[in-house]
A and B are shown apart, each in its own frame.
Chain A
C-alpha cells in the first residue's frame, strides 16, 4: 500500500543533565524496511526513537523523512505512530474508541472513522472486541489494540519501543509474528527498539547496534554474525571463541595456525563461531574437556596444544574420543582489535 519512507538521522545529539545519551548518531533506514535499534540499556535507543517521534528535541543533528527535515514539526504533526512498551490504552474509552482516537484528533468524519477502525481491528484479528472496555481483555490483546491504534492513522513511519517486552514469552512470539506480517503487508518503514538481540535478528531487515549513543555497526542481521565490526559487537552477540593472535609481515599467527591477512601489524584477537569449528580426521590436535548433549548438537569444550580453550558444536550422533582433530576455515574467522 504505502511506498515507504526513507528515514535519515544525521549527527543526532541529546544530553540529559550533562550526560550525552545520544552522541552524533548517523543512520539511514531503507524505505519499507523494519530496522531494529539494538543495544544495551542506556545506549540511547529509546531517546533516539522519541526524537524521531518529536516527543524529545535533539540538541543537534537532523531527522529527515524522504530527504525533508521534520524537526520543525511537532509530535502531533509528524506522520508517525508509536507503540510503547505498555499498551497505554486510554482507560476511559472503549477499545474501538481507542483505535479511533488518532482519527478523531485528525478530524476524520465519523462514518469513515468507524469503517477504518473496523478494518484496523480486523488487521490485528480483534474485530469483535470494539465495544469492550480496557481491562476486559488480555495483555496480548491490549498490545494488539495499541498496534491497531497506531496503524489506523496510516503513518509513514511506525515506531515501536520494546512493544513485546511486557508480554509473556508465549504471547510474545504471537504478537511478534503479527507485527512482522503486518509490517511487510503494509510496507511501512518501521523503527523498532529492543535490547534482545535474538528478537532483533528474528524480526528485522536491518539492525543498527548502538553503544553509548552511536551506531557501532549497522546492516542485515547476518553481518553481525559473519563480520562483527568490533570486539564489543562480537561480545554483544555472544558465543564467539576468542583467541589471542598477532599479525606480523602480512601473516596472522594464532593457536589455530597461520595464514595471510591484510590487517595492520600488532596484537589482535581472532574470533570464531563454534559452528565454524569442525571435527576432522586430521588437523589441529585438541583434548576434549567437556561435552554436553543439547538435543540438536553437542556443545564441546576442547583444549588446544598451547592451553587455550575453544568451544565447538559437534553433530549429536558423534561418539567423542578424548583426543580429537579440528579444522577451521580461515574465512569463517574474524580478526578484531583487542
Chain B
C-alpha cells in the first residue's frame, strides 16, 4: 500500500478534474451554494447521441480526420525518418530543421499566411484541406519518433529478408514494419492526438464547414450550456484516454502497462 501510494496520488490527481465534469454532465440544475445539483438530468448525455444535434456527425468527422491525418503523417514520417535516421546526405541538418520547424513556429502564424493558397486552390472549407493543414503540426512529431526508431534500426534484418526471398515490398511489409511497430504505434498515437485536439487550424481552414469535436465544444462553452459542454468534454477526453490504456505498453516499453494504469 505504501509502495503504491505515489501511484494512487498520481491517479487521483489526474482524475480529480474530471469529477466536476461528470457531475455537470448529469445535472439538470446546479446553483450556488449547493454542493450537489438540485436536479439530475440526462439531457446533456442524451444530446451526444441525438442525431438532430451536430455532435454525432462531429464525432465521426473528428475520428475520420484523426485516422486519416495519422496514416498520412506516418507514411511521410516513415520516409523522412528513414532518411534522417539511416542515411547521410548533403543538407541533412537543414532538412531536419525544416521538418521540425512547424513544431517551433506557432501554427497560427503559418496558417494565416498559407490560408490564401488554400482559398485559391479551393481547399479551404473542405475535409482534404483540413487534413493537409493538420499534417503541418503532426509530421514533425511523427518524424522525430520514427527518425530515432530508424537510427536504432538494424538494417541487417532487411538484407536477411532479401536473401530469404522477400522482395523490397514484402521486406518492408513483413520485416521493417513489424520490427518498427512499437515506435509506429507511438507516432500514430501522437498524430491522432494532435489532430483530435486541434482547434485553431481546423477553424481557420475548415471555415466552420468542417465541424470537429473541439469546434463544437468551444461553441457549447460559449453558449454557456454547461451540461452539454461538460458531456461533450467527456466525449472529447474518452478516445485519447482509451488509446493510452490500449497502447501504454508501447509507450513504456513493458508488457504491464504504464505506471498504475495497467491495473486500473
Which residues of chain B in 137-188 are interfacial with respect to chain A, using CB atoms and an 8 Å cutoff? 154, 156-157, 159-167, 170, 174-175, 178-179, 181
13 A-B Cβ contacts within 8 A?
Answer: A53-B163, A74-B162, A74-B167, A76-B162, A78-B163, A88-B160, A92-B181, A101-B161, A101-B164, A105-B164, A105-B170, A105-B174, A149-B164
Q: CA separation between A101 and B157, bound complex, in Å?
A: 12
7 residue pairs, one from A and one from B, having the closest CB atoms: A102-B164, A92-B178, A105-B165, A75-B162, A82-B163, A105-B166, A88-B160
> In the bound complex, do residue A88 and residue B157 qualify as a contact, i.e. CB atoms below 8 Å apart?
yes
Q: Which residues of A contact B166 (CB under 8 A)?
A: 76, 101, 105
Q: Of all chain B residues, which has the CB nearest A78?
A: B163
Indicate whether A235 reaches chain B with its CB closer than 8 angstroms.
no
Please, which residues of chain B bring their CB within 8 A of the CB of A86? 154, 156
CA distance in complex: A90, B163 (Å): 14
Specify which of B154, B163, B167 is in contact with A81 (CB 8 Å cutoff).
B163
Interface residues of B (CB under 8 A from A): 154, 156-157, 159-167, 170, 174-175, 178-179, 181
Q: How far is the CB of A169 from chain B (nearest CB, A)?
A: 23
Let me know if A226 is at the binding interface, CB within 8 A: no
Kindly state the separation between the CA atoms of A101 and B159 in the bound complex, as whole angstroms. Answer: 13
* Interface residue A91 (Cβ < 8 Å from any Cβ of B): yes
Give residues 50-82 of A contacting B (CB, 8 Å): 50, 53-55, 74-78, 80-82
Given the complex of chains A and B, what is the CA–CA distance between A75 and B171 in angstroms? 12
| Main secondary structure on B side of the interface with A | helix
Complex Cα distance A77/B162, Å? 9
Least Cβ–Cβ distance between A259 and chain B, in angstroms: 53
Evaluate whether A75 and B163 lie within 8 angstroms (CB atoms) in the complex, with A88-B156, A88-B157, A90-B157 already known. Answer: yes
Q: A91 — nearest CB in chain B belongs to which residue? A: B179
With a cutoff of 8 Å between Cβ atoms, the chain A residues found around residue B167 in the complex are 74, 76
Residues of A within 8 A of B163 (CB): 53-55, 75-76, 78, 80-82, 150, 159
Task: Report A254 CB to chain B, min CB distance, Å.
Answer: 50
Chain A residues whose CB sits within 8 angstroms of the CB of B174 once the complex forms? 101, 105
B162→A84 contact, CB < 8 A: no
Minimum C-beta distance from A114 to chain B (A): 17
Which residue of B165, B166, B175 has the most chain A CB atoms within 10 A of its CB atom?
Answer: B165
CA gap between A5 and B262 in the complex, in Å: 56
* B164 partner residues in chain A, CB cutoff 8 A: 76, 81, 101-102, 105, 149-150, 153
Further contacts, 10 of them, CB under 8 A, given A76-B164, A105-B170: A75-B163, A77-B165, A80-B163, A81-B163, A82-B159, A82-B160, A91-B179, A150-B164, A153-B165, A159-B163
* Interface residue A106 (Cβ < 8 Å from any Cβ of B): yes
Which residues A281-334 have CB closer than 8 A to chain B? none
What B residues does A153 contact at CB under 8 A? 164-165
CA distance A47 to B174 in the complex (A): 26
Distance between Cα atoms of A180 and B181 in the complex (Å): 37
Q: Give the docked Cα–Cα distance between A149 and B175 (Å).
A: 15
Provide the bound-state CA to CA distance between A82 and B159, in Å. Answer: 9
CB A52 to nearest CB in B, in angstroms, measures 10
Q: Is the CB of A55 within 8 A of B159?
A: yes
B165 & A102 in contact (Cβ 8 Å cutoff) = yes
Q: Which residues of B contact A74 (CB under 8 A)?
A: 162, 167
From 150 to 182 in chain A, residues with beta carbon under 8 angstroms from any chain B beta carbon are 150, 153, 159
